[in-house]
Structure 1
């Protein structure tokens, strides 16, 4: 897939010089699922979609787009395929300066954006759900937010599989043995049958210890937080009458 996707980048130059761009109206007629998806984005509650349950409740505009995409992909039984295609798209925004700039450049006419996305998806043989979703972002001027929107979507797909991403903040990188021990401990806490993935973040400002974040929970065992707690205790007045 990556090879097919890379081979489409040359389309941008041809499309940007084209005098016969497909209109948004034409694209809507060619892709009847777009109104369906657009309606889904507007009405997504972030909790349920018919008989499909969403594993995480996401808020904000990015969360609503991600939730509607998830529901559409699950209902049509193409979730894994859509995720794979969109991970390739995110990788392309980072590896290709041309494509990355294209997604951020709001000066590109709307018709040009939609035509480019349509042609890229056709060349890459993307599913209809992926094609329509990217077309909606192009039409609405939200391609510039594609990484944040898809980041939320990937949170949903990982939760769907039972994957748990854990962010561990430390002063310096954990040695492999300590990371392994921490992962085993977290696996016991989170439960067997779920894949635990640890991502390390280095932050010298916490002074020492560690901060563990997963499933919207935060376990702060940093020296900085302990010192602040101790300072608050020391500042509290002592009631000698109870001694």
Structure 2
């Protein structure tokens, strides 16, 4: 599943345009909330992932789909127009990169530290509280934490803060062991 939200050059350019417009129109918080909703929906909805990434869906249809989603979710007008423009330009597949780059721009402007926690199974409230406490201690401030479940990591955790990744997943440990055994 392509739900790794990584920035790209195209994503950064579109994100910068959206960020500047949202900032100018005093809609920065609303646009950010809309993009967070889209990010969550992307992780949960195979239909949305297909809409954005399928090469057989015409950009007009992608624009209609994204506009319908924006209407139903009552997104800010700036977000809605932006999604239509992104799809009309044939760049709907770059939405995840735009969201990642927008978050980076927002963090830089506001000083917010974002952390993404990936686990193989849903975390309990106590586990999440413990992780947030450890992050607070390590970072010296409360991070905005996003939690995602990815069964493919088998067990353990992956924690990403900014460009730093702490990977204590079982899959990575098994891959490292497999590599070490091949070299022996």
TM superposition score normalised by structure 2: 0.58
CA RMSD of aligned residues (A): 4.6
Q: State the aligned residue count.
A: 164
The equivalent of 1:176 in structure 2 is 125
Instruction: Tell me whether 1:167 sits opposite 2:114 in the alignment.
Output: no
The partner residue of 2:144 within 185, 192, 196 is 196
Question: What's the CA shift for 1:225?
Answer: 1.7
Provide the rounded CA distance (Å) in 1 between the counterparts of 2:15 and 2:31.
Answer: 12
The equivalent of 1:16 in structure 2 is none
Question: What's the CA shift for 1:65?
Answer: 0.8
Contact 2:15 2:101 in 1 (8 A): yes
Provide the rounded CA distance (Å) in 2 between the counterparts of 1:79 and 1:219.
Answer: 30
Question: What's the CA shift for 1:91?
Answer: 8.5
The partner residue of 1:214 within 148, 161, 170 is 161
The equivalent of 2:99 in structure 1 is 151
Call closer, same or farther: CA 1:178–1:69 in 2, change over 3 Å. same
SS of the residue corresponding to residue 182 of structure 1 reads helix
Call closer, same or farther: CA 1:219–1:167 in 2, change over 3 Å. same
Call closer, same or farther: CA 1:74–1:177 in 2, change over 3 Å. same
Contact 1:210 1:222 in 2 (8 A): yes
Q: Which has the higher contact order (CA 8 A, sep 6+)?
A: 2
Contact 1:164 1:196 in 2 (8 A): yes
The equivalent of 2:28 in structure 1 is 79
Provide the rounded CA distance (Å) in 1 between the counterparts of 2:164 and 2:158.
Answer: 10
Contact 2:8 2:97 in 1 (8 A): no
Provide the rounded CA distance (Å) in 2 between the counterparts of 1:174 and 1:86.
Answer: 23
Question: What's the CA shift for 1:153?
Answer: 5.1
Contact 1:158 1:164 in 2 (8 A): no
Contact 2:12 2:97 in 1 (8 A): yes
The range that moved more, 219-228 or 100-109, is: 100-109
TM superposition score normalised by structure 1: 0.47
Larger radius of gyration: 1
**Could you list the runs of 5+ residues in structure 2 that have no partner in the other structure?**
1-5
